[in-house]
Amino acid sequence: MVINNWLSAFFVKEFQTEPRCFRSPGRINLIGEHTDYNEGFVLPAGIDKFCSIAIAPSGSDFTTLIATDLDEHCITNHFPEEKHSNAWSNYVFGVVAAFKKRGKNIPHFNAVVKSDVPVGAGLSSSAALESVFAYAFNEIFQCGFDRLELTRIAKEAENEFIGLQCGIMDMFASIHAKLDHVIRLDCRSLDFEYVPMKLGGNKIVLFDTCVKHELASSEYNTRRLECISVVDKLNERGENFPSLRNVSMEMLESNRNLFSDNEFKRARYVIQENIRLSNFCDAVEREDWSKAGSLLLEAHNGLQNDYEVSCTELDFLVENVKELNGVWGARMMGGGFGGCTLNLVAEEKVNEVVQTISDAYKNQFGIDLKYYIAGTSDGAAEF
Ligand code: ADP
Ligand code: MG
């Protein structure tokens, strides 16, 4: 049964009223890693895996939330003002709180949640969950917010209610995504542009290392500081740059003596990554998969050697997959030190590639590789 029929039927059985159904996708980021906090560009797309909900006002003094994937429910007669013990419902109540902050009191409601966005795989299941509720509340209770404000609401739920200082990309992508397109998002102005990306006979395949090394958050902070330090040093020389976004390769190289080796490498990566992202947009628009793939490999090389946020497992996957028939290119995706690699693969070769790389990974690390096959999708919508 199609998912909205299944959700509706579940809802009707539970609450004896007809719901409306909404969904919002998980996301990938094609290229543009660690560029967001340097006020550069990112290139996310919605994927064809969604967090879907059936929802209706309850007409009573109670709200009931059902997470079908977890077989859990949560009933309350007041919306909590801050994070409480039921972990997953906090994402929903965080959205309620963000509406309230904007003067919109959400009345009690019933909702059933079902998602096929894998949790913790780097595809942003949490952003999909926040985004679908933000979108649904706005429609059902006619709050009149535009998609950008809904993005801010979903981000606020994660930052302030959940307490996780993520950037805006995940929610932006989940809410704004467009089938057969990537979003070229300027993290400085939040201006964006849809760039056509018809995958045609190709698929995005994600290989999940199933590891998360401890280093991730401390190294993330170090990288941010190194980037700031490069900008500070240029500003001491009379520039007035707010971020690495303003720094060109020529400028970096002509001031080479100002920087430590690490600072130089970090900045070089960020500057080149923004250029690569532009070239990647041109390549996918032309459907030049060979070029797009080689830019992914270059990006990985930069993340591995200049930005130094990769790890043995990620490098192994990229290294071993890139020679296989049907693979255009691959790179680590996300903050680093674990998570997924993103691979651009000819559809007819996907099964073969998955088999080969799973065997190799198991052999090397003793870990069963997880994988996800994705196409692009539209953003938050009623369905
Ligand atoms: P991700 O990288 O996938 O976003 P997070 O740790 O940020 O991982 O968010 C995962 C959390 O989001 C889960 O632990 C759960 O609380 C919530 N969540 C995700 N998917 C679902 C779902 N299908 N049903 C209920 N809660 C979900
Ligand atoms: Mg998340």
CATH number at residue 353: 3.30.70.890
382 in a structural domain: no
Domain endpoint, select from 198, 216, 245:
198
Instruction: State the pLDDT confidence band at 261, using cuts at 50, 70 and 90.
Output: very high
Mean pLDDT along residues 246-275: 98
Total of domains in the chain:
2
Same domain, 71 and 140: yes
- In this predicted structure, the answer to whether residue 270 has a pLDDT above a threshold of 60 is yes
321 in a structural domain: yes
Cα-to-centroid distance, 125 and ligand 2 (Å) = 6
What does the angle CA 319 – CA 206 – CA 122 come to, to the nearest 5 degrees? 110
- Ligand nearest the Cα of residue 73 is 1
pLDDT for res 295: 98
In the chain, the percentage of residues whose pLDDT exceeds 90 is 94
Cα-to-centroid distance, 85 and ligand 1 (Å) = 15
Tell me if 88 CB under 6 Å of ligand 1: yes
Q: Which residue has the higher pLDDT, 85 or 312?
A: 312
Mean pLDDT along residues 129-143: 98
Domain endpoint, select from 198, 217, 242:
198
Same domain, 56 and 122: yes
Protein residue whose Cα sits closest to atom 6 of ligand 1? 120
- In this predicted structure, the answer to whether residue 77 has a pLDDT above a threshold of 60 is yes
Longest dimension (CA), the chain: 71
Same domain, 180 and 312: no
Backbone angles phi, psi at 125, to 5 degrees: -65, -30
- In this predicted structure, the answer to whether residue 187 has a pLDDT above a threshold of 80 is yes
The catalytic position among 170, 208, 306, 378 is: 170
Same domain, 218 and 255: yes
Contacts for 71 with CB less than 8 Å, ≥ 6 apart: none
Beta-carbon-side half-sphere exposure of residue 30 (alpha carbons within 13 Å): 37
Tell me if 53 CB under 6 Å of ligand 1: no
Amino acid, res. 154: A
Tell me if 163 CB under 6 Å of ligand 1: no
Tokens standing for 182?
């990537």
Residue owning tokens 């966005």? 117
348 in a structural domain: yes
Strand partners, 373: 205
Q: Give tens-digit pLDDT for 81-113.
A: 898 888 999 999 999 999 999 999 999 999 999
Protein residue whose Cα sits closest to atom 4 of ligand 1? 124
Backbone angles phi, psi at 237, to 5 degrees: -85, 10
379 in a structural domain: no
105 in a structural domain: yes
Residue owning tokens 């985004």? 131
Question: CA 30, CA 340: separation in Å to the nearest integer?
Answer: 12
380 in a structural domain: no
Same domain, 224 and 193: no
Same domain, 302 and 349: yes
Same domain, 18 and 98: yes
Same domain, 158 and 286: no
Asked if residues 151 and 175 have their Cβ atoms less than 8 Å apart, the reply is: yes
Same domain, 222 and 135: no
Asked if residues 36 and 3 have their Cβ atoms less than 8 Å apart, the reply is: no
Cα-to-centroid distance, 335 and ligand 2 (Å) = 12
Range of the domain at 82: 2-198
Closest residue by Cα to residue 114 from 14, 47, 22 = 22
pLDDT for res 254: 97
Q: Give tens-digit pLDDT for 1-60.
A: 578 899 999 999 999 999 999 999 999 999 999 999 999 999 999 999 999 999 999 999
Same domain, 131 and 155: yes
Same domain, 322 and 358: yes
pLDDT for res 157: 97
381 in a structural domain: no
SS (H, E, C) the chain: CCHHHHHHHHHHHHHCCCCEEEEEEEEEECCCCCCHHHCCEECEEEEEEEEEEEEEECCCCCEEEEECCCCEEEEECCCCCCCCCCCCHHHHHHHHHHHHHCCCCCCCEEEEEEECCCCCCCCCHHHHHHHHHHHHHHHHCCCCCCHHHHHHHHHHHHHHHHCCCCCCHHHHHHHHCCCCEEEEEECCCCCEEEEECCCCCEEEEEEEEEEECCCHHHHHHHHHHHHHHHHHHHHHCCCCCCCHHHCCHHHHHHCHHHCCHHHHHHHHHHHHHHHHHHHHHHHHHCCCHHHHHHHHHHHHHHHHHHCCCCCHHHHHHHHHHCCCCCEEEEEECCCCCEEEEEEEEEHHHHHHHHHHHHHHHHHHHCCCCEEEEECECCCCEEC
Backbone angles phi, psi at 23, to 5 degrees: -150, 155
Strand partners, 72: 67
Backbone angles phi, psi at 46, to 5 degrees: -75, 145
- Ligand nearest the Cα of residue 129 is 1
Backbone angles phi, psi at 256, to 5 degrees: -50, -40
| Residue 170: active-site member | yes
Asked if residues 357 and 369 have their Cβ atoms less than 8 Å apart, the reply is: yes
CATH number at residue 51: 3.30.230.10
Mean pLDDT along residues 175-186: 98
pLDDT for res 166: 85
84 in a structural domain: yes
For residue 166, which atom of ligand 1 is closest to its CA? 7
Domain endpoint, select from 198, 214, 232:
198
Mean residue pLDDT across the chain = 96
Same domain, 174 and 256: no
The 41-42 sheet, strands edge to edge: 41-42, 181-186, 192-196
pLDDT for res 1: 57
Cα-to-centroid distance, 88 and ligand 1 (Å) = 7
- In this predicted structure, the answer to whether residue 197 has a pLDDT above a threshold of 60 is yes
